[in-house]
Structure 1
Amino acid sequence: MPMDQLAAMATFVRAVDAGSLSAAARSLPSSLTSVSRQISALEQHFGTRLLVRTTRQLALTDDGRILYERAKSILGEIREIEEALAGSRREPTGRLRVSSPSLMGRMLIAPLLGDFLATFPSLTVELLLVDRHVDLIEEDIHLVLRVGRIADSQLVARKLAEVQMIHCASPDYLARRGEPQVPSDLAQHDCLIFSDAPGIATWRFGPDAKTGSRIRISGRLWVNSLDALATAAEAGAGIIRVPSWQVERQLAEGRLRRLLRAHEPAPAPLHALYQPSRLGSAKTRAFIDFLVERWRRSDPLGRSSL
Structure 2
Amino acid sequence: MPIPDLEAWAIFAKVAETGSFAAAASDFGVSNATVSKAMKRLEERLGERLIHRTSRRFSLTETGRVLAVRAAQILAEGEAVEAEAQAKSSQPRGRVRLAAPMSFGVSHVAPALPDFLTAYPEVTVDLQLDDRLVDLVAGGVDVALRIAELADSSLMTRRLCPVRRWVVGAPSYFARRGMPARPRDLKDHACLVYSYLATGETWRFIHLDGTEESVRVKGPLSATNADALQDALLAGLGVAMQPDFLAWEAVRDGRLVVACPDWAPPPLAINLVTPAGGPRAARVAVLLDFLAHRFTAGSAPWTLELAERGSI
TM-score range, shorter chain: 0.5 to 0.7
Contact 1:98 1:127 survives alignment (8 Å): yes
Residues 1:217 and 2:217 aligned together: yes
User: Which residue does 2:226 correspond to in 1?
Assistant: 226
User: Which residue does 2:138 correspond to in 1?
Assistant: 138
User: Which residue does 2:54 correspond to in 1?
Assistant: none
User: Which residue does 1:40 correspond to in 2?
Assistant: none
Query: Deviation at 1:213?
Result: 2.4
Output the TM-score relative to the length of structure 1. Answer: 0.67
Aligned equivalents of 2:192, 2:204: Cα separation in 1:
15
Q: Report the residue type matching 1:277 in the other structure.
A: G
Aligned with 2:185: secondary structure?
helix
Aligned equivalents of 1:121, 1:83: Cα separation in 2:
23
Query: Deviation at 1:265?
Result: 2.6
Taking a change above 3 Å as real, the CA distance of residues 213 and 83 of structure 1, as seen in their structure-2 partners, is: farther
1:203-229 per-position Cα deviation (integer Å, ceiling 9, x unaligned)? 111169x96222221233112221221
Q: Report the residue type matching 2:254 in the other structure.
A: G
1:124-183 per-position Cα deviation (integer Å, ceiling 9, x unaligned)? 100000010111111111011111122461111011111111111011111110000100
Residues 1:236 and 2:253 aligned together: no
Contact 1:196 1:222 survives alignment (8 Å): no
For structure 1, the residue ranges without an aligned partner over 5 or more in a row are: 5-80
Contact 2:131 2:196 survives alignment (8 Å): no
User: Which residue does 1:128 correspond to in 2?
Assistant: 128
Taking a change above 3 Å as real, the CA distance of residues 3 and 282 of structure 1, as seen in their structure-2 partners, is: farther
Of structures 1 and 2, the larger Rg is shown by 2
Aligned equivalents of 2:3, 2:113: Cα separation in 1:
37
Aligned equivalents of 1:214, 1:102: Cα separation in 2:
27
Query: Deviation at 1:230?
Result: 1.3
User: Which residue does 1:300 correspond to in 2?
Assistant: 301
Contact 1:108 1:300 survives alignment (8 Å): no
Aligned equivalents of 2:100, 2:83: Cα separation in 1:
24
Aligned with 2:138: secondary structure?
coil
Tell me which moved more, 295-304 or 253-262. Answer: 295-304
For residues 1-306 of structure 1, the aligned pairs below 5 Å read: 85-88=85-88, 90-151=90-151, 153-195=153-195, 201-206=201-206, 212-277=212-277, 279-296=279-296, 298-302=299-303
Contact 2:144 2:272 survives alignment (8 Å): yes
Aligned equivalents of 1:3, 1:182: Cα separation in 2:
72
Contact 2:192 2:218 survives alignment (8 Å): no
Q: Report the residue type matching 2:300 in the other structure.
A: D
Q: Report the residue type matching 1:302 in the other structure.
A: T
Aligned with 1:86: secondary structure?
helix
Query: How big is the alpha-carbon RMSD for the aligned residues of Structure 1 and Structure 2?
Result: 2.9
Contact 1:83 1:93 survives alignment (8 Å): no
Tell me which moved more, 145-154 or 170-179. Answer: 145-154
Aligned equivalents of 1:187, 1:83: Cα separation in 2:
65
Taking a change above 3 Å as real, the CA distance of residues 279 and 266 of structure 1, as seen in their structure-2 partners, is: farther
Contact 1:200 1:219 survives alignment (8 Å): no
Taking a change above 3 Å as real, the CA distance of residues 82 and 241 of structure 1, as seen in their structure-2 partners, is: farther
Taking a change above 3 Å as real, the CA distance of residues 215 and 123 of structure 1, as seen in their structure-2 partners, is: same
Aligned equivalents of 1:274, 1:196: Cα separation in 2:
22
Contact 1:234 1:255 survives alignment (8 Å): yes
Taking a change above 3 Å as real, the CA distance of residues 290 and 138 of structure 1, as seen in their structure-2 partners, is: same
Output the TM-score relative to the length of structure 2. Answer: 0.65
Contact 2:248 2:302 survives alignment (8 Å): no
Contact 2:204 2:266 survives alignment (8 Å): no
